[in-house]
Amino acid sequence: MDRFLLPYLLRFSPFDKIGWLKNQENITQIINKTDEVIIKENEALENAIQKVWITVGVVMQKDKNGKILNQFSSFVLTDDGLILTSYDAVGSGLELYFFTRENKELLLKIQKKDKKLGLAILRALNYNFSTTPLGDFDKIKLGEAVFLVGARNEDGTFQNFVNSGIIKSIKEDELTLNFSEQKFASGSPLFNIKGELIGINLVGSTGEIKVIPINKIKEFIK
């Protein structure tokens, strides 16, 4: 009624002289402005995802016959091949491989790991890696829009997946989100809307996400 009938009535006398009817035109404009804001937010999220998805890969554990026993999402820290992922990805003692979007497999070597923190750093060689900026823990806000990008090896084909939501709670050593994820997301990076890394996601057995925040990551990679 506000958007169609009342604007139509304002074209005719005496309706065009009624004050409260004239005000409906302003209400209609406000609705349009809200729609525009939502569209711009969606565009910002899409642009951020396109900017960072290239920094996400798969860390795989294989048996001696080459069968994949487990796989985890991971994040490219540096262009010379440092890979950040979940500690669970390195706990088996098996050889580890980094699976890229070009469906290439690179052998990984463990550089550093911390069971208590839940993170590990691996190194892959002979590949041109892309990176994205690290965020600032002090700038993370409650209710801030965030998204994760994960990856998996699906029958020999690299596949990305995305999930988004908000920061539900903030602690010095942990962030929590308002959404859950599949197990393949463990080790995946969490980004803000600017495309900055603000955490690494560790996924529990029931899909709950614990985020290791960027301040702890920076301490770990020193």
Over its C-alpha atoms, the chain yields an Rg (Å, rounded) of 23
Q: Is 166 or 29 the better-scoring residue by pLDDT?
A: 166
Task: Round the average pLDDT of the chain to a whole number and report it.
Answer: 87
120 in a structural domain: yes
Same domain, 142 and 117: no
Q: Which of 3-17, 44-58, 119-133, 149-163 has the lowest mean pLDDT?
A: 3-17
What percentage of the chain carries pLDDT values higher than 90?
A: 74
pTM comes to 0.82
Average pLDDT on 78-91 reads 94
- The position carrying tokens 């979940």 is 86
Query: Per-residue confidence at 13, pLDDT binned at 50, 70, 90?
Result: low
- The position carrying tokens 């770990």 is 220
The top-scoring range by mean pLDDT among 41-45, 88-92, 198-202 is: 198-202
194 in a structural domain: yes
Q: Which CATH number belongs to the domain containing residue 174 in this structure?
A: 2.40.10.10
Looking at the structure of the chain, the number of domains it has is 2
Query: Per-residue confidence at 29, pLDDT binned at 50, 70, 90?
Result: very low
Average pLDDT on 84-98 reads 91
Same domain, 100 and 77: yes
Average pLDDT on 178-196 reads 97
Same domain, 212 and 173: yes
Sign of CA dihedral 6, 10, 12, 17: positive
Q: Over 80: is that where the pLDDT of 31 sits?
A: no
200 in a structural domain: yes
Domain interval for residue 137 = 132-220
114 in a structural domain: yes
How far is it, in rounded angstroms, from Cα 157 to Cα 192? 27
Same domain, 165 and 92: no
Query: Per-residue confidence at 115, pLDDT binned at 50, 70, 90?
Result: very high
How far is it, in rounded angstroms, from Cα 203 to Cα 209? 5
210 in a structural domain: yes
